[in-house]
Amino acid sequence: MHENQLFIVSFIIFFAIILNLFLKRIGISTIIGYIITGVAARQFFGLTGSEELTAIAEFGVVFLMFMIGLEFSLEKLSSMKKEVLGLGGLQVLVSGLIFGFILHHLLDFDKKIAVALGFTLALSSTTIILKILQETGKMGRNHGRNSIGILLMQDIAVVPILILVTILADTSQDLGTLLWHTGLNSIGGMIAIYFFGKYGVSYFLKHVTGAKSNELFMMAVLLIVITSAAIAHFFHVPYSLGAFIAGIIISESAYKHQIEADLIPFRDLLLGVFFLSIGILIDVHFLIKNILLIALMTIGIMAAKTVIIFYLSKMFRYSSRTAIKTALLLSQIGEFSFVIFAYAKSISLISEELAQTFIAVAALSMIITPFLAKYLAEISYRFTKSKDSDIIERSSAYKNHVVVIGFGNTGKAVIRNLTNNGFEYIAVENQRDLVYDAQARGHNVIFGNAMQKNMLETLKVKEASAVVVTTDKEEELLTICEVIRFNYPKVNLVARTKNDREYRLIKAAGVDLLVDESEEVGKKLVEMALMCKIHK
């Protein structure tokens, strides 16, 4: 490697780190940072990509498909069949056909190109959406579950889309012959990878783990992924199909979790290189020259996907709020589209100019997504009718009821137990999204600030048998307890604390009925440990 090449590499790494540190502070995914770094590298150093960089980027996609395969167990598919096969399958099919129809009939694209691009535009970004859901803790929410189900179906659809692109690009044979050969190759590849994974891999990993060396185990996993991809390539099907099937097979083994833990940093690094290579593919001059067209296409595609996913979600009887959140979250074009656009260009299915346009549109849609995700709750409020008035009216006749402040995990557990035991209650929460989720499930939860006296009067605290404060923010907890104790000195006030310091503070505020979370958990753990000792 020459000195100037070392300088370029060090600059790219430095720029990526500094940029991602800044983006992380404002809550933007590092993926966007890698794409922008690639754009800057092309602009400053005249890079246009290389075979080495492309090969490394392909490894990133291969390992991503392998990791997705690890997550794709039959048990998970069975528990999410409505989201994956139902909503996800329809989303890919309907979006692909609609985009294909628009491209062919309204924009006069060739039928082959329209079909290939239509299904490519149906895909969304697994990497970005999963990061957003993980970082915001929304994986278990309705829109999070829906999004994961649709993304899983889209990831599965990548392989047939790649095969479809290959078929459409081949003009030397008729469609029937191509489908026959591709089907045979795919079946042959899957059978070969199945036997390799089912028998060869298990036997191999059993001996490798016996050596008790993390380094050897990691090398063994890399060998398995690369070999699976090579088998797929031998049968003339995409590398990613081999990696995906290998992941599915290993997901049923005892090595799944150890492989996930070892591969995640390696996969993320390779994906960083993949998105960097995508950035290098973007021509800034072309982008500036066609910025209006690219902006309009981005808005049009994202709007169309939002409408399609929204109405499909409603068709599956999800609430308007869940439907709009899912639709907005998945409105971008996914990272696999870069692979398909680049592949379609390499086999001359689409032109360089068309590939540049769609790559720029996909990148822009991904850059917009993290900003859009920040306002999901606010946007969804417009699609939801508040039930506060109905709940307040219904609870107006309550006496000796329980008032619950907070609808976090502890608040949910309190309300669940009150409901199971037939007690009347009314709860208040200051996060709108939690309130609407609670109301959608039929809980008596209203939006408001429990530190305000008029809200406490609305909750009829004076006539309550008890007030349970479940908020986990110390300052908020202390203020609420002080306000309630000052205005209603005789009410039975129950609160939970996380540690000794918090316990003393809340006790000093005049709260006698306290549950010390750490103390109670400690007692329960000791109780269970002693039971184990007795029964041993």
CA 446 to chain centre: 29
CA 123, 126, 130: angle at the middle one, nearest 5? 145
First to last CA, the chain: 64
Q: Report pLDDT digits (tens) over 246-283.
A: 777 777 777 777 777 777 777 677 677 777 877 777 78
Mapped to the 3 state alphabet, what secondary structure does 477-535 carry?
A: HHHHHHHHHHHCCCCCEEEEECCHHHHHHHHHCCCCEEEEHHHHHHHHHHHHHHHHHHH
As given in the structure block, the two tokens for residue 321 are 């709020």
Q: DSSP labels for 370-399?
A: HHHHHTHHHHHHTT----HHHHHHHGGG--
Per DSSP, 471 falls in state: -
Cα(421)–Cα(402) distance, integer angstroms: 12
Which residues of 321-452 form beta strands (DSSP E)?
A: 402-405, 425-429, 445-447
SS3 state at 446: strand
Cβ 302 vs Cβ 122: under 8 Å:
no
The two tokens of residue 398 are 């309550």
User: Domains of the chain by range and CATH?
Assistant: 3-381 (1.20.1530.20), 388-535 (3.40.50.720)
Residue 497's DSSP bridge partners are 516
Question: What is the rounded CA–CA span in Å between residue 496 and residue 481?
Answer: 11
- Which structure tokens are listed for 276? 């960097």
pLDDT along the chain (536 residues), means of 10: 65 81 76 82 71 62 72 65 83 92 87 86 86 75 82 79 73 63 70 72 76 79 81 73 76 73 71 76 84 93 95 86 89 85 79 87 88 81 74 84 88 89 90 80 87 89 90 85 88 85 82 80 80 68
Length of the chain measured in residues: 536
Whole-number pLDDT of residue 178: 62
